[in-house]
Amino acid sequence: MAAARRKVLFVCMGNICRSPTAEVVLREQARRRGIEVEVDSVGTEAYHVGEPPDPRSIHHARLRGYDLTPLRARQLAADDFARFDVIYAADALNLREIRRRCPAEHLPKVALFLGTEPLPDPYYGEAEGFEEVLDLVEKRVDFLLSDWSAANC
């Protein structure tokens, strides 16, 4: 029996750095492994709605073979809570905001993406911050996909 497609939502503050990076890395790594996944990303704030990801995110992702250019920022919407199986927050601040907006029946779906640690925000930093985000996201996505594959054996 085929496993059901997982529906994953990544959330950061503006949806231009961390969450779109996580979205594309998960989508691409899942595709490479033949794992069906529906993935999207949003921001808790509306600062950048309709804008593409940060050019630095696009650049550093491209160096690793990921294309962020088709993405456009959007804000977390009420129907996202019912639509997705799991909602990953980039950090504690966004986790609190997601939980504040989340209907009680969907709270078990909400978690911190890296488990117990925040995914650092590279927005105000240098190139190293974008590389660190990619390193952390790739490592965590690899773990999640391996875990999901093992669960479906």
Q: Is residue 32 part of a domain?
A: yes
Q: Which residues contact 36 (CB under 8 A, 6 or more apart)?
A: 3, 5, 6, 30
CATH number for the domain that contains residue 25: 3.40.50.2300
Structural domain boundaries enclosing 137? 6-151
> For the chain, what is the domain count?
1
Tens digits of residue pLDDT in 71-126: 999 999 999 999 999 999 999 999 999 999 999 999 999 999 999 999 999 999 99
Q: Is residue 42 part of a domain?
A: yes
Q: Is residue 1 part of a domain?
A: no
What is residue 54's DSSP assignment?
Answer: P
Q: Is residue 73 part of a domain?
A: yes
Catalytic residue list: 12, 18, 121
Give the Cα separation of 78 and 125 in Å (integer).
Answer: 32
Q: In which band, very low, low, confident or very high, does the pLDDT at 1 lie, cut at 50, 70 and 90?
A: very low
Q: Is residue 115 part of a domain?
A: yes
Complete DSSP assignment for 71-116: ----B--TTHHHH-SEEEESSHHHHHHHHHHS-GGGGGGEEETBTT
Q: Which of 12, 1, 32 is nearest to 138 (CA)?
A: 32
pTM exceeds 0.75 for this model: yes
